């Protein structure tokens, strides 16, 4: 049994057919415990409310004994997890954290409806905090993601990781064909990042 938190992104209302919702059902059917909350006001997210919810969800995961603790975060959800790590909101680290299609902070800062200060990728404390709260950290993004015009490489020095690049994956959005993602559930079982490259 694994304990898995799935954190959606901006404007996401956990639609049917989305890879995250499909994965939640598959992982539950295999006997895992899955936390897949709807974050409040997804079109106009409040940084304070999103931070409080991820803090509570992580705490509830810690109340369940045993099992590997895993976070899967998409888009703005990656930003929220990283800010929570910077703020030391967690009480116990995650065994694995997967950041899927982290957006360029320059774009989220300009996006109408997203409040709060943008993530500072030049802050040397970011990588320290990320690795403090994630024993194993994996970043994956498409090579044609409109939310990453500078490329996911901007996260390499910021998080001290070598991101995986999934050709043609876009923003891993439902409207870009991202329904079933067999590689994600394979990675949950294997912990091998290369399994994520299956679609």
Number of domains in the chain: 1
Give me the domain span that covers residue 163: 2-197
Q: For the CA atoms of the chain, what is the radius of gyration?
A: 15
Confidence category of residue 116, pLDDT binned at 50, 70, 90: confident
Q: What is the mean pLDDT of residues 39-50?
A: 96
CA–CA dist 44, 183 (Å, integer): 31
**The pLDDT of residue 117:** 85
Looking up residue 59, the CATH number of its domain turns out to be: 3.40.50.1820
pLDDT digits 0-9 by tens, 71-94 = 999 999 999 999 999 999 999 999
CA–CA dist 90, 20 (Å, integer): 23
Task: Give the residue carrying structure tokens 């989220």.
Answer: 108
Length of the chain: 199
pLDDT digits 0-9 by tens, 121-175 = 999 999 999 999 999 999 999 999 999 999 999 999 999 999 999 999 999 999 9
- Average per-residue pLDDT in the chain? 97
Q: What is the mean pLDDT of residues 48-53?
A: 97
Percent helix, strand and coil across the chain, each rounded to 5? 40, 15, 45
Q: Which two tokens stand for residue 71?
A: 């976070």
**The pLDDT of residue 158:** 98
CA–CA dist 17, 178 (Å, integer): 8
């Amino acid at each position: 049994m694994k304990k898995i938190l799935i954190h959606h992104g901006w404007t996401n209302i956990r639609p049917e057919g989305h890879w995250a919702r499909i994965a939640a059902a598959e992982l539950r059917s295999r006997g895992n415990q899955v936390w897949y909350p709807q974050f409040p006001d997804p079109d106009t997210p409040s940084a304070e409310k999103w931070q409080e919810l991820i803090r509570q969800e992580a705490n509830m995961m810690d109340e369940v004994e045993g099992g590997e603790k895993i976070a899967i975060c998409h888009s703005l959800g990656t930003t929220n997890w990283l800010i929570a790590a910077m703020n030391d909101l967690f009480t116990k680290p995650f065994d694995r954290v997967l950041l899927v299609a982290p957006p360029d902070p320059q774009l989220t800062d300009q996006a109408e409806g997203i409040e709060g200060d943008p993530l500072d990728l030049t802050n040397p404390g970011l990588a320290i905090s990320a690795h403090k709260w994630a024993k194993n950290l994996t970043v994956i993004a498409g090579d044609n993601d409109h939310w990453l015009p500078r490329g996911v490489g901007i996260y390499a020095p910021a998080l001290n990781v070598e991101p995986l690049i999934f050709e043609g994956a876009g923003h891993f959005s439902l409207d870009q064909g991202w329904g079933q993602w067999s590689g994600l559930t394979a990675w949950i079982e294997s912990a091998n990042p290369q399994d994520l490259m299956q679609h």
